[in-house]
């Protein structure tokens, strides 16, 4: 394994791709293995002690690098250019100067997964990297070093186009890079070309200039002057081959400034979606729908942020024991017919940028039997922003069950259900209710509902569930309490949810 | 006070950043052409960036500050450095390799009837017609006649000189860039009190005009000295020290009195940082001015300069030949 890190202290990388005119303003991105090899050769010629680092060592090092196409990790780069006129008095020619603008603090990684260098080759490479001044044109100042250890993921590598099997989306953009032929491959190529030339009738001068570009030495062939190659009529360097690479789409963005500048997002803890689909689930199945929503959020977080970067505040896993209710509550909400047409996700610890991206990207929720509901993001904001549309986030002193409360601990002599409610309120830094009243039924939309009318079980197996029946309660607090108020087993999935009772109800 | 070069002995490059600000007000005039506009482009974080001065322009500025135009000579600190002066047939100074776009490769030096320098170069570089170019030898020849060209690069684009393959890369490069720029549009009218509706083409009449300046919270001049390349010339310790000191002098001089880039773009240094090698302190200009004559004398003592130091060429138009480098050389 061999890994190089290239950073650009001037923030710019200038390089015209082979076969393109400078005024096409294209940029060879990432730097071709061919260009890197030639930059190392140039550095050796200009700056290194040839007694200490002989040509044979350089050839062996570069030969090894040519044996394997490197992988890259590309930093964010913007395709930019400036234009100017040449200051000729007679005719002012317009010249485009294209370059990739890169953050000087970000590094371009070049990685050979299989390459193994010996000590002498490593020492030479380190010295070359230390002395290299630029890659591409002289304005592309570069600082290069070898990394002993690199655990990152390359995002540009040889291969064919990658397609997401599920969505059919193309995930990569093909780009042709020039890489030096391996020394063995060049010997074969050179011999074939020489024998081919012998059979052709060419002018002596033409033959001479072509033969000059087909030296026996591989290193000499890789080092040839570009002008000599072009004069001999080559459309691509004879000692190079094209390798198809895949780089991320928009690896070289054409513009970013036209985008509105990201404004600092106001702090948020709640997001609400409208739910569309036929049929909508019933409020009686709140817990099932909430589980579907959570699963959809997990999937989107995995896709957006990566499998290892899903925020614990969304999963609810891996949080401190004393802080376990700060993570997301998935709270479906029913319309006047008892159908779940909205879902509110409340994260008491706050929604950060990563979570915003996940919530912004969430478009659908899928059930187990292939049913799909579409989600429309209404708003990401503070809990108070939703008071008019979601009564459960209002402040009130009297609260009544909207879904069954399932007590989380086993009932004991001093720990009956109301004691458990008090204990939960204490643990959540709420004032204890002054009155706790059991309700046999509730009538949210004209229909009288008992706790057992609701689905009360998680699909996840092996959970401790001391209460399987559930009960409805009315809680009265001495002072106003802010919602959402969800207590008991499955409270993060819409069970034990309370709604405020207005004074006149 | 002498300059401590020891910290630079093993460093591959010297990187310097100078934070600049407009001398007065907040606006500055960008580089650009009337029909192309300013050289504005995007940065990776969405910032609008502006190229205030290109590498080619900065090279020219770093050479201009070395030249005492009224006296047609180097500034005091650099007197004794070799260069080639071109005079006309009356003996009047015409140009020289410090002011010329292509330095030693100037058409006035190599393309005239007076082939003195061309013949000398041909004689000294004759054995490079075949095989790899011996950069050390080329550097020694360039040092002898036009030392300044060693720092800013050279392309001897003549077929007769090793097939036009003789090139030296830039050792000192620099550019100025402004970050997060905003356009400051302004305008006005040139008033004609006598006849406001006169023929504007002839200079009469009222003429409205507009101008586009820029503002930026950050303007930075970046300088890069390729120390490994200076050592790679293989010209010995005295030459290395002279070239480093000369490069530093150019940077100091540009920052001290060369930052009036355009009529409405006069910048001042707010903060100077040496980013590589970290912790190294850039000598003051007067320290460099004091040290340079001694460094020049030390190299002269090694017989590395042409004698006399000033080679004179008389310009008389010869046969015009198009050279290879003409199309893409952008200096001056």
ipTM of this complex prediction, to 2 decimal places: 0.84
Ramachandran area for residue A281 (φ above 0: left; ψ -120 to 50: alpha; else beta): beta
Model pTM greater than 0.90? no
For the stretch A415-464, pLDDT in tens is 888 888 888 888 888 888 888 888 888 888 888 889 888 888 888 887 78
Given A9, A77, A83, which is nearest B15 (Cβ)? Answer: A9
Q: Does B199 touch chain A (CB under 8 A)?
A: no
- Contact between B49 and B178 (Cβ < 8 Å): yes
Average pLDDT score over residue span B63-88: 91
The Cα B193–Cα B176 span in angstroms is 42
Q: List CB contacts (< 8 A) between A130 and chain B.
A: 12, 228
The Cα A472–Cα A443 span in angstroms is 11
Could you say which residues from 205 to 244 on chain A have a Cβ atom under 8 Å away from some Cβ of chain B? 223, 225, 227
- Contact between A226 and A19 (Cβ < 8 Å): no
The Cα A166–Cα A372 span in angstroms is 15
Could you say which residues from 217 to 236 on chain B have a Cβ atom under 8 Å away from some Cβ of chain A? 222, 224, 226, 228-229, 231-232
Distance (Å) from the alpha carbon of A52 to chain B's nearest alpha carbon: 13
Whole-number Cα distances in Å, A271 to A381, A487, B268? 6, 20, 50
The DSSP string of A292-360 is: HHHHHHHHHHHHHH-GGG--HHHH--S--GGGGGGS-EEEEEE-TTSBEEEEEEE-TT---HHHHHHHH
Q: List CB contacts (< 8 A) between B49 and chain A.
A: 80, 101
Which pLDDT value is given to residue A261?
58
Best to test chain B binding among A9, A45, A47, A51 (most B CBs inside 10 Å): A47
The percent of residues above 70 in pLDDT, for chain B, comes to 95
Q: Which class for A258: exposed (0-12), middle (13-18), buried (19 or more C-beta within 10 A)?
A: exposed
Residues of chain A with pLDDT under 70: 89, 256-265, 321-324, 503-505
Average pLDDT score over residue span B2-9: 82
The Cα A69–Cα A180 span in angstroms is 9
Q: Does A52 touch chain B (CB under 8 A)?
A: no
On the question of pLDDT at B323 being above 60, the answer is no
pLDDT band at B269 (very low <50, low <70, confident <90, very high): very high
Binary contact (A45, B132; C-beta < 8 A):
yes
Q: List CB contacts (< 8 A) between B48 and chain A.
A: 257
Given B49, B164, B165, which is nearest A101 (Cβ)? Answer: B49
Which pLDDT value is given to residue A207?
81
The Cα A153–Cα A71 span in angstroms is 9
- Contact between B215 and B182 (Cβ < 8 Å): yes
The Cα B158–Cα B118 span in angstroms is 10
Binary contact (B330, A95; C-beta < 8 A):
yes
Which pLDDT value is given to residue A503?
62
| CA dihedral for B46, B51, B56, B61, sign (positive or negative) | negative
For the stretch B202-255, pLDDT in tens is 889 888 888 889 999 999 999 999 999 999 998 999 999 999 999 999 999 999
- The residues that bridge with B37 in the sheet, in sequence order, are B33
Could you say which residues from 170 to 199 on chain A have a Cβ atom under 8 Å away from some Cβ of chain B? none
Given B229, B276, B328, which is nearest A47 (Cβ)? Answer: B229
Q: List CB contacts (< 8 A) between A48 and chain B.
A: 232
Q: Does A136 touch chain B (CB under 8 A)?
A: no
Binary contact (B51, A93; C-beta < 8 A):
no
Q: E strands within chain B?
A: 14-22, 27-28, 32-33, 37-38, 40-42, 48-53, 67-68, 73-74, 83-87, 93-96, 154-156, 166-168, 172-179, 182-190, 207-215, 218-225, 260-262, 265-276, 310-314
Which pLDDT value is given to residue B228?
92
Counting one residue from chain A and one from chain B, the pairs whose CB atoms sit within 8 A come to: 110
Binary contact (A95, B222; C-beta < 8 A):
no
Which pair of tokens denotes residue B195?
A: 């006849």
Which pair of tokens denotes residue A393?
A: 């986030």
Closest CA to B310 of B94, B146, B106, B90: B146
For the stretch B283-298, pLDDT in tens is 999 999 999 999 999 9
Which pair of tokens denotes residue A314?
A: 């969304």
pLDDT band at B330 (very low <50, low <70, confident <90, very high): very low
Which pLDDT value is given to residue A191?
87
The Cα A105–Cα B45 span in angstroms is 12
Q: Which helix (H) or strand (E) holds B286?
A: helix B285-301
Which pair of tokens denotes residue A408?
A: 């989380």
Could you say which residues from 68 to 87 on chain A have a Cβ atom under 8 Å away from some Cβ of chain B? 75-78, 80-87
């Amino acid at each position: 394994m061999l890994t190089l890190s290239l950073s650009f202290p001037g923030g710019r990388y200038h390089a015209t791709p082979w076969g393109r005119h400078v005024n096409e303003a294209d940029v060879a991105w990432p730097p071709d293995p061919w260009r890197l090899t030639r930059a190392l050769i140039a550095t050796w010629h200009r700056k290194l002690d040839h007694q200490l680092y002989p040509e044979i060592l350089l050839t062996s090092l570069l030969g090894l690098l040519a044996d394997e196409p490197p992988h890259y990790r590309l930093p964010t780069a913007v395709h930019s250019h400036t234009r100017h006129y040449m200051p000729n008095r007679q005719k002012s020619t317009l010249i485009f100067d294209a370059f990739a603008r890169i953050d000087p603090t970000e590094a371009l990684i070049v990685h050979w997964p299989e390459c193994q260098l010996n000590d002498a080759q490593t020492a030479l490479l380190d010295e070359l990297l230390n002395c290299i001044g630029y890659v591409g044109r002289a304005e592309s100042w570069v600082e290069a070093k070898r990394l002993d250890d690199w655990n990152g993921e390359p995002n540009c590598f040889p291969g064919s186009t990658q397609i997401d099997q599920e969505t059919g989306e193309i995930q990569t953009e093909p780009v042709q890079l020039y890489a030096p032929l391996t020394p063995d491959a060049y010997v074969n190529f050179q011999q074939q070309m020489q024998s081919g030339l012998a059979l052709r009738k060419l002018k002596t001068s033409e033959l001479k200039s072509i033969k000059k570009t087909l030296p026996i030495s591989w290193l000499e062939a890789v080092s040839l002057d570009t002008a000599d190659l072009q004069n001999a009529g080559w459309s691509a360097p004879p000692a190079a081959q094209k390798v198809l690479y895949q780089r991320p789409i928009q690896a070289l963005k054409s513009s970013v400034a036209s985008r509105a500048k990201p404004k600092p997002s106001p702090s948020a803890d709640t997001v609400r979606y409208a739910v569309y689909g036929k049929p909508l689930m019933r409020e009686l199945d709140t817990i099932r729908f909430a589980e579907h929503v959570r699963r959809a959020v997990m999937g989107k977080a995995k896709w957006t942020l990566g499998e290892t970067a899903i925020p614990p505040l969304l999963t609810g896993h891996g949080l401190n024991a004393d802080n376990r209710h700060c993570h997301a509550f998935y709270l479906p909400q029913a319309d006047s017919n008892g159908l779940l047409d909205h879902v509110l996700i409340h994260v008491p610890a706050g929604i950060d940028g990563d979570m915003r991206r996940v919530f912004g990207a969430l478009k659908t929720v899928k059930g187990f039997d292939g049913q799909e509901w579409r989600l429309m993001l209404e708003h990401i904001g503070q809990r108070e922003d939703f008071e008019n549309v979601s009564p459960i986030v209002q402040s009130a002193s009297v609260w009544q069950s909207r879904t069954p409360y399932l007590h989380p601990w086993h009932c004991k002599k001093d720990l009956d259900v109301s004691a458990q409610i008090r204990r939960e309120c204490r643990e959540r830094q709420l004032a204890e209710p002054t009155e706790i009243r059991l309700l046999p039924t509730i009538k949210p939309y004209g229909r009288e509902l008992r706790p057992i009318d609701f689905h009360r079980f998680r699909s996840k197996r092996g959970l401790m569930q001391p209460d399987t029946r559930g009960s409805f309660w009315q809680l009265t607090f001495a002072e106003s309490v802010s919602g959402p108020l969800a207590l008991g087993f499955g409270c993060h999935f819409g069970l034990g949810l309370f709604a405020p009772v207005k004074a006149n109800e | 006070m002498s300059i401590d070069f020891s910290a630079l002995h093993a460093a591959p490059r010297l990187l310097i950043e100078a934070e600049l600000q407009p001398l007065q007000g907040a606006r500055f005039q960008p580089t650009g052409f009337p029909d192309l506009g300013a050289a504005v482009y995007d940065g990776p974080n969405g910032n609008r960036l502006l190229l205030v001065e290109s590498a080619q322009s900065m090279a020219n500025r770093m050479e201009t500050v070395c030249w005492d135009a009224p006296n047609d000579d180097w500034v005091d600190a650099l007197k004794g450095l070799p260069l080639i002066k071109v005079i006309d047939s009356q003996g009047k100074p015409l140009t020289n390799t410090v002011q010329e776009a292509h330095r030693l490769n100037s058409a006035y030096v190599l393309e005239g009837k007076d082939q003195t320098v061309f013949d000398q170069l041909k004689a000294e570089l004759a054995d490079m017609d075949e095989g790899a170019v011996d950069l050390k030898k080329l550097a020694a020849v360039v040092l002898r006649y036009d030392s300044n060209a060693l720092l800013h690069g050279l392309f001897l684009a003549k077929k007769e000189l090793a097939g036009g393959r003789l090139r030296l890369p830039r050792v000192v490069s620099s550019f100025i860039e402004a970050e997060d720029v905003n356009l400051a549009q302004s305008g006005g009218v040139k008033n004609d009190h006598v006849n406001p509706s006169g023929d504007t083409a002839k200079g009469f009449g009222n003429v409205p005009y507009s101008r586009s300046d820029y503002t930026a919270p950050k303007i930075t001049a970046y300088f890069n000295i390729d120390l490994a390349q200076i050592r790679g010339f293989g010209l010995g310790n005295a030459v290395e020290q002279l070239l480093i000191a000369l490069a530093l002098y150019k940077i100091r001089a540009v920052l001290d009195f060369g930052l009036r880039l355009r009529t409405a773009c006069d910048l001042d240094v707010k903060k100077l940082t040496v980013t590589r090698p970290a912790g190294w302190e850039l000598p003051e200009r007067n320290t460099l001015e004091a040290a340079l004559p001694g460094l020049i004398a030390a190299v002269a003592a090694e017989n590395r300069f042409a004698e006399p130091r000033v080679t004179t060429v008389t310009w008389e138009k010869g046969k015009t030949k198009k050279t290879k480098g003409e199309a893409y050389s952008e200096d001056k």
